[in-house]
Structure 1
């Protein structure tokens, strides 16, 4: 079984995180009959990611559980042994690097491992990315912030054309309004010639705050201004583990058919209970 981070550890490491504020947030959730039972750790993640604002945390909680209920294509069958998730591991890498920036930000690296567009299914990549992110937060707890890095090496227009605008719209709403992380920057490296078409696809669905976070790096030198070279994998000039090793770590999978005590994946990924319906189309 996975060992979730203990809530007491979160209070100990963050003096701005107050038990009273978490208790007030819990009291509010219990007065919302449509919401599921929410753990103390989840409340902490929402409150900390919203910079300790109860009102912002309430909005994020509402959006998080509602979107995950309505958007069944991405947020149902949360089993890492599912065949589509297993195949997605060979196509793309989603990994949180072990070291942090001087500001304490975690770096999430996303890149293609198999450049064949026929194998690329955006829905599966997003689903696996979200599962990885949810599991990471439950195991590691809060952090100062996250910077997401998209390495477009090997990507083609054929990959872009497989992006369903409706899917992109819904996931960007979820990322901006619901996910309990402090998103600081979004980087694009190994920029393709069709980057303008990519930006044209996502811009209509981005708030100004997120749009301002996007950095298109035509040189790695500008990228290093945000992410120190030394914390990156060797392929990017750093001293961290190579992408091949990260791939091996990503592909270290359990054999669920041999597990004695079954894992409740829905609980791990924050999917408990039933919720009201809300249209976000």
Structure 2
């Protein structure tokens, strides 16, 4: 492998900002506004980096108020869903099983011509009786901690490969878990999804897709695709972006996975730091009110991640 893990995500921050109708100078001023706001939020344990704030500004189309809410959610969720976030550490022994044997997940290196990031999710040929979908959600959160610092794009194209999904995986997928996954997608990662593409879907796994359809918004529902053949992906994603495993020209899934393992190691100090961050609700300027998040929290706080 001749790729520096620090250069694994190719992006063009200035171009993405321009497509969103902003100049670099205007974007910097908006970041400064959010940084000033952070100074008034004494309940938050730290201030997000400029890169992270810029990412949230882009996904909200530079809405200052929505960006503030996402910044607050980034920390508040860690306190209210503390049991879940305990597992968002690459060195957690149980989590390593998911990352090393059960699933692949990583963003691909290159952006599409319209500046979207392609993400690969694939089950591996490994049957694990203790499988829990929320452990995989924790895996995605682990990767997100890198994306929020390094990645900037117009949104995401997600490819989900069910070739090796087991019936036991399907049986352990519940509506509540699916709702929690959608909560993270919409409320924490705030992903602008261009398309979700399912490939190699066995009949018994169609129930998972049916569950997903019950929780996503209509605009996402209209962007779900089930492909009968892998080659159909080429209509949505250029070959030069896709891994060799899918008929593309990029490194194989295994090679990319090893590179991402190295990248995770380099971020380990940040993961350790994140485990300690808590919101001090006593210092919050205005109390939390009933909201979509708190409604989700009531459903999720007792969910079993083990």
The TM tier, using the shorter chain, reads 0.7 to 0.9
Q: Provide the residue aligned with 1:135 in structure 2.
A: 146
Paired with 2:75 and 2:115, the residues of 1 have a C-alpha distance of 28
Shift in Å, 1:175: 1.0
Matches within 5 A, 1:1-281: 14-15=17-18, 16=22, 17=24, 18-39=27-48, 40-89=50-99, 90-118=101-129, 120-138=131-149, 140-252=150-262, 263-267=269-273, 272-276=277-281, 278-280=294-296, 281=299
Per-residue deviation, residues 16-74 of structure 1 (Å, max 9, x unmatched) = 25222122223334333433322233221211121111122223233333323222233
Paired with 2:216 and 2:87, the residues of 1 have a C-alpha distance of 28
Q: How high is the TM-score relative to the length of structure 1?
A: 0.82
Q: How high is the TM-score relative to the length of structure 2?
A: 0.76
Per-residue deviation, residues 98-124 of structure 1 (Å, max 9, x unmatched) = 222221211110111233142533222
Paired with 1:163 and 1:88, the residues of 2 have a C-alpha distance of 15
Q: Contact 1:63 / 1:174 at 8 angstroms: preserved in 2?
A: no
Cα separation, partners in 2 of 1:3 and 1:26, compared to 1, 3 Å: farther
Q: Which range is displaced more, 91-100 or 200-209?
A: 200-209
Q: Any stretches of 5+ residues in structure 2 without a counterpart? A: 282-287, 289-293, 300-306
Q: Contact 1:173 / 1:205 at 8 angstroms: preserved in 2?
A: no
Q: Any stretches of 5+ residues in structure 1 without a counterpart? A: 257-261
Paired with 2:178 and 2:255, the residues of 1 have a C-alpha distance of 30
Q: Which range is displaced more, 23-32 or 235-244?
A: 23-32
Per-residue deviation, residues 74-104 of structure 1 (Å, max 9, x unmatched) = 3125431110121112111111212222212
Paired with 1:274 and 1:3, the residues of 2 have a C-alpha distance of 30
Q: Contact 2:30 / 2:64 at 8 angstroms: preserved in 1?
A: yes
Q: Contact 2:16 / 2:154 at 8 angstroms: preserved in 1?
A: no
Q: Provide the residue aligned with 1:259 in structure 2.
A: none
Per-residue deviation, residues 153-187 of structure 1 (Å, max 9, x unmatched) = 01133211112332221221121122144332211
Aligned residues: 269
- 1:115 is paired with a residue of what secondary structure? coil
Cα separation, partners in 2 of 1:135 and 1:111, compared to 1, 3 Å: same
CA RMSD of superposed structures (Å): 3.0
Q: Which range is displaced more, 22-31 or 109-118?
A: 22-31
Q: Which range is displaced more, 171-180 or 82-91?
A: 171-180
Paired with 2:68 and 2:57, the residues of 1 have a C-alpha distance of 9
Q: Contact 2:88 / 2:141 at 8 angstroms: preserved in 1?
A: no
